[in-house]
Chains A and B, each alone.
Chain A
Amino acid sequence: MGFADFLGFAFIQRAYLAGSFIAVLCAMLGLFLVLRRFSLIGDGLSHVSFGGIALGLFLGLEPLWVALPISVAASSLILVLSRRARLYGDAAIAIVSSSGIALGVVLASLAGGFNVDLMSYLFGNILAVSPVETYLSVLLSAVVLAVIAFLYHDLFSVAFDEEYATVSGIRTGAVNILLATLTAVSVVLAVKVVGVMLVSALLVLPAVSALQVARGFRGALLLSSCIAVLSVLVGITVSFLADIPAGGTVVLVNLLVFFVLLAWKRIR
């Protein structure tokens, strides 16, 4: 089988398309999150999405559609706990994260244990993405990217210096809620690519890789997106050819890029 034959498979095309859009989305949001020291929010929300997915499977509903509103609500809960209950951000994330896992475990047990469906969400299966899921992933990714482009300067300002952004008249509370909501949507989408266990890698690794070499913020966003897409495309291809899990391979390629850029930065 040649590479052209490989590219001819509809499921490969869908995996490339959906994976690339979701990768760009995660890479851009991930840069904002990393710079604001919110890297773990992706991990926490992915655990919440696990609870939502388990609830969806338990109720016989489409799991991702159940996980989406629950994750969005959880993202706001993290902010509320941080601000109103005066908890540190990582403590608020830990509370929400463990609650999501607890919900998932209990529901999975009630439903007769962990089945194949739930395992596929834990570790992702981008090669099994359906045409409808592909369209939805592309559509939701495009919407989120448009919102980022629309609010680019406000997001940048709040990420750089929240206090100064407030003095500038930017509604930093609203920007924070929006960023958390977009992250929740992205996490749910990314579950299909790399699974609950590895979502935070898709958010964090391209961003920290780009930060090794980027000089300006726009450059960092662009480089982070390129690394994410490259990692997804290479990861999917290698995983298919070597018959190994796609999610794990995508993350390992991301990790490799990170170490290469880290080494290059030190040599330079």
Chain B
Amino acid sequence: MNDVILSVDHLSFRYGASETLSDVSFRVRRGDFVALAGPNGAGKTTLMKLVLGLLDGYEGDIELFGTPRSAFRDHRKVGYLPQRVNTFNPLFPATSGEVVGLGLLSGKRLPKRLDGADRERIREALRSVDALDLEHSPIGSLSGGQQQRVFLARALVSDPELLVLDEPVTALDPEARARFYALLTRLRSEEGKTVVMITHDIPHAGEQGGTLLYLDKSVVFFGGFDEFCRSKSMEGKFGYFDQHVICHQHTT
């Protein structure tokens, strides 16, 4: 059985004359956790948008579940948690339940309808992120941490195999951040989700184990966190002190 869920080969992309990604290659296998990190402007979000089909015009190959990106139609297999602040209109009069229901549309034919079973799945997804009590609350009235849980429920409601998370902890306070990582741990250990997460929070991502993909237009480092801690090249990138802090948190 082919257990490669995401395959990126020799991927390059330009915004106009500016090269954003250069010859990027890596594989994500079923059950992997990949923390995608790098400095601002390194191409992390561009890479994610190319994988998700939000950008076109690239060189190289992207395959999702063994299917070329351009031909991929099984959208239910991918759950996406965007950066909340970038994509969300807080004045939108939608309840949390309505928002989570959007995650069920991809597998439906027109005219798309949500039936009783779908409504139960919505409640189950909200329950799984400890947000069932928010089902009828307007999304704009919730705190940042609550909204994050509702959007995560939307990403989970179609029971996807791959979760793509774009800086999910950036807007969260320490308590909400800890709850999020605890939830992520459970999703991986109990439900076997494959996770690709853009993050600047390398120390906490490292606590999840898995793999670090450090990007700076091309792949600078791709390997386990233990390997990262021993890497002299990454010591040069982060500096001895920061690498030491990250690795100290990782090993304790």
Interface residues of A (CB under 8 A from B): 35, 149-154, 156-157, 159-170, 210-211, 214-220
- The answer to whether A157 touches B138, judged by C-beta atoms less than 8 angstroms apart, is no
Contacts of A154 in B (CB 8 A): 105, 110, 112
Determine whether B111 belongs to the interface, using a CB cutoff of 8 Å to chain A. Answer: yes
Q: Add 16 more A-B contacts to A160-B94, A216-B138, A217-B98 (CB < 8 A).
A: A35-B92, A152-B111, A152-B112, A153-B101, A153-B108, A160-B92, A161-B87, A163-B82, A164-B154, A169-B75, A211-B91, A215-B93, A215-B95, A216-B95, A217-B92, A217-B94
- The answer to whether B105 touches A157, judged by C-beta atoms less than 8 angstroms apart, is yes
Q: Mark B210-229, 1 if CB is under 8 A from A, else 0.
A: 00000000000000000000
- The CA-CA distance from A164 to B52 in the complex, in Å, is 10
Determine whether B117 belongs to the interface, using a CB cutoff of 8 Å to chain A. Answer: no
- The answer to whether B53 touches A163, judged by C-beta atoms less than 8 angstroms apart, is no
A-B contact pairs, 23 of them (CB 8 A): A35-B91, A149-B111, A150-B110, A151-B111, A153-B102, A153-B108, A154-B112, A157-B102, A159-B92, A160-B102, A161-B87, A164-B80, A164-B102, A167-B54, A168-B75, A169-B73, A170-B106, A211-B91, A211-B93, A215-B138, A216-B95, A216-B138, A218-B98
Interface residues of B (CB under 8 A from A): 52-54, 73, 75, 78, 80, 82, 86-89, 91-95, 98-99, 101-103, 105-106, 108, 110-114, 136, 138, 154
> A129: shortest Cβ distance to chain B, in Å?
32
- The CA-CA distance from A81 to B221 in the complex, in Å, is 42
- The answer to whether A168 touches B94, judged by C-beta atoms less than 8 angstroms apart, is no
Interface secondary structure of B, over-half rule: loop
Contact partner, B102, options A151, A156, A211, A216, Cβ 8 Å? A156
- The answer to whether A167 touches B52, judged by C-beta atoms less than 8 angstroms apart, is yes
Contacts of A156 in B (CB 8 A): 94, 98, 102
Contact partner, A161, options B88, B91, B106, Cβ 8 Å? B88
Contacts of B52 in A (CB 8 A): 166-167
- The CA-CA distance from A214 to B140 in the complex, in Å, is 12
Name the CB-closest residue of A to B72.
A169
> B54: shortest Cβ distance to chain A, in Å?
6
> B233: shortest Cβ distance to chain A, in Å?
34
- 4 nearest A-B residue pairs (beta carbon): A169-B75, A168-B106, A153-B112, A220-B93
